[in-house]
Amino acid sequence: MKEVNKRFKKIQEVQMSKYGFNTKAIHAGQPDFQPNSMSTPIYQSVAYPFFDAKEAAAISSGQKPGFTYGRWDNPTVDAFERRMAALENTEAAIAAASGMSAIFLLTHHLVSPGDDVVSSNRVYGGTFGLFNVGLKKMGASVNWVTNPESIEAWKSAITPRTKFIFVETPSNPGLFIADIPALAALAKSKNLPLVVDNTIATPALQQPVLLGADIVVHSTTKYICGNASSLGGIICGSKELIDGIRQNDIRYLGPAMAPFNAWLTLNGLETLALRMERHCHNAMVVATFLEKHPMVIGVNYPGLESNPYHKLIKPQMKGVSSLMSFELKGTYDDATRFIDSVKVFTHATHLGTCKSIVTHPASTTHSAMGEAEMRKAGISPSMIRLSVGIEDEADLIADLDQAFSSISSKGKA
Ligand SMILES: Cc1ncc(COP(=O)(O)O)c(C=O)c1O
């Protein structure tokens, strides 16, 4: 039997026919619609009617669980947050509109004027900009660790005004791998939280809190969603931290995750472990192929034994994910010809989706830098970045092979 939803009781107690067209267009049909659902329902709603004034007061003051307004709570987003907290081994989580807004909310919450943040300089460009420019606007600053392989370098960057230590591992696009337990021990000794951006690994491959970190952030736009359909971000941490961000920062800054994006991303999470297994497998096949190819100078993929970070993988990761870069023996033009020749790989500035993606940093993500600046950042004109997807491995290899052939045959012509 259908249960009557008492939250709409005022209008359903009377016959709908007594109302005018406009009132019916707004209220008819809703009151008793309450079936159970196998898939998490999408609560595409910004507000949640109260039973009575007493309940409204109890929910608003936090004495009774419930939802009030979509900028800081929503049932579909709540399901996503709870699932992410469970996967990242934290008490709670708060979702945001994008990965950058998650990192911004956390920074805004923890930092006051005069404070500083200690961060590896091997971070995603948006994070680099937030710490370099955004922190200044907050009256704070960043102490970059330019040699993040060295724990001593991290130690000497910490000041009495440091509020948190930030590391992205593996990093995008450089694939730096941090020693998380060693960094966590340093953070603990200084009574500071260690924040890990776990976007590239995902909790299916790396669980930073089990390695000693305190807070985990993600761009869920990438592998967690998995099909390039939804921007999203998340902060996973203690209940005290997450409650603080929900009650203060997200309330007045406002970058909430949309319910539909939460729903799409929840669906992505259900297959995350399976997808990551296949991403890792295909990436290893591609990296091994590239490493042996005569037109490749070098491959940057920590899954390869030749990679300097390879020894850090086993103690902290179940797999190396599927982001890599390689340097083509050739010029900027050869690299763009290669990009234009691939057919299975999609040319885009994105990563971490089921589809394989190819990017040429020198003509896209890093094109604003001059060549000298680019080289300082470890990017050459012929560098190509790959995010290896979950297609059939033979098709990926054949696609790369024909792209190499097309540039070598053009060279001969
Ligand atoms: C490691 C990492 N963190 C954060 C971000 C920012 O995420 P978003 O694009 O969802 O804002 C990205 C984006 O590429 C990223 O690669």
Alpha carbon separation from 62 to 58, 65, 67, 148 (Å, rounded): 6, 7, 10, 42
| Residue 389 near residue 322, CB atoms below 8 Å | yes
Which atom from ligand 1 is nearest to the alpha carbon of 171?
1
Query: In this structure, what token pair is assigned to residue 395?
Result: 């098709």
Give per-residue pLDDT as tens, 370-382. 777 777 667 789 9
Mean pLDDT throughout 371-395?
Answer: 88
Mean pLDDT throughout 130-140?
Answer: 97
222 catalytic? Reply is yes
**Separation CA 195–CA 205 (nearest Å):** 17
Instruction: Please say if the pLDDT value at position 394 is more than 50.
Output: yes
pLDDT at site 34: 65
DSSP per-residue letters across 284-348: HHHHHHHHH-TTEEEEE-TTSTTSTTHHHHHHH-S---SEEEEEESS-HHHHHHHHHH-SSSEE-
Instruction: Please say if the pLDDT value at position 317 is more than 50.
Output: yes
**Separation CA 342–CA 357 (nearest Å):** 10
| Residue 218 near residue 234, CB atoms below 8 Å | yes
Q: Which of 7, 19, 48, 71 is catalytic?
A: 71
Ligand 1 in reach of 169 Cβ (< 6 A): no
**Separation CA 286–CA 358 (nearest Å):** 13
197 catalytic? Reply is yes
Give per-residue pLDDT as tens, 189-209. 999 999 999 999 999 999 999
Decide the pairing of beta strands 346-347 and 383-387.
Answer: unpaired
Instruction: Please say if the pLDDT value at position 1 is more than 50.
Output: no
Domains and CATH numbers, the chain: 1-35 (no CATH), 59-270 (3.40.640.10), 272-412 (3.90.1150.10)
Confidence of residue 124 (pLDDT cuts 50, 70, 90): very high
Ligand 1 in reach of 197 Cβ (< 6 A): yes
Distance (angstroms) between ligand 1 centre and the Cα of 99 equals 5
Angle at 259 between CA 65 and CA 41, to 5 degrees: 75
Q: Answer with the residue of higher pLDDT: 11 or 121.
A: 121
Instruction: Please say if the pLDDT value at position 15 is more than 90.
Output: no
Ligand 1 in reach of 257 Cβ (< 6 A): no
Give per-residue pLDDT as tens, 266-316. 999 999 999 999 999 999 999 999 999 999 999 999 999 999 999 999 999
pLDDT at site 21: 86
Q: Is the pTM of this model over 0.85?
A: yes
Distance (angstroms) between ligand 1 centre and the Cα of 282 equals 22
Instruction: Please say if the pLDDT value at position 32 is more than 70.
Output: no
Q: Which of 124, 223, 301, 309 is catalytic?
A: 124
124 catalytic? Reply is yes
Distance (angstroms) between ligand 1 centre and the Cα of 257 equals 15
Ligand 1 in reach of 336 Cβ (< 6 A): no
Ligand 1 in reach of 174 Cβ (< 6 A): no
Instruction: Please say if the pLDDT value at position 236 is more than 60.
Output: yes
Ligand 1 in reach of 124 Cβ (< 6 A): yes
Mean pLDDT throughout 334-346?
Answer: 96
**Separation CA 275–CA 388 (nearest Å):** 11
Mean pLDDT throughout 101-121?
Answer: 98
Distance (angstroms) between ligand 1 centre and the Cα of 233 equals 8
Distance (angstroms) between ligand 1 centre and the Cα of 175 equals 14
Distance (angstroms) between ligand 1 centre and the Cα of 260 equals 20
Pocket of ligand 1, candidates 100, 123, 323, 357: which has the most ligand atoms within 8 Å of its Cβ, to mutate? 100
| Category of 29 on φ-ψ map: left (φ > 0), alpha (ψ -120 to 50) or beta | left
Measured by CA distance, the residue closest to atom 9 of ligand 1 is 99
Instruction: Please say if the pLDDT value at position 4 is more than 60.
Output: no
Distance (angstroms) between ligand 1 centre and the Cα of 124 equals 7
Give per-residue pLDDT as tens, 38-67. 889 999 999 999 989 999 999 999 899 999
pLDDT at site 409: 75
- Residue 123: other Cβ atoms inside 10 A: 25
Q: What are phi and psi of 409, to 5 degrees?
A: -70, -35
Instruction: Please say if the pLDDT value at position 14 is more than 60.
Output: no
Which atom from ligand 1 is nearest to the alpha carbon of 123?
1
Give per-residue pLDDT as tens, 398-413. 999 999 999 887 654 4
Pocket of ligand 1, candidates 101, 107, 124, 261: which has the most ligand atoms within 8 Å of its Cβ, to mutate? 124
Ligand 1 in reach of 234 Cβ (< 6 A): no
pLDDT at site 366: 77
Tell me what the pLDDT averaged over the chain comes to.
Answer: 93
Mean pLDDT throughout 64-71?
Answer: 96
Query: In this structure, what token pair is assigned to residue 321?
Result: 């994910």
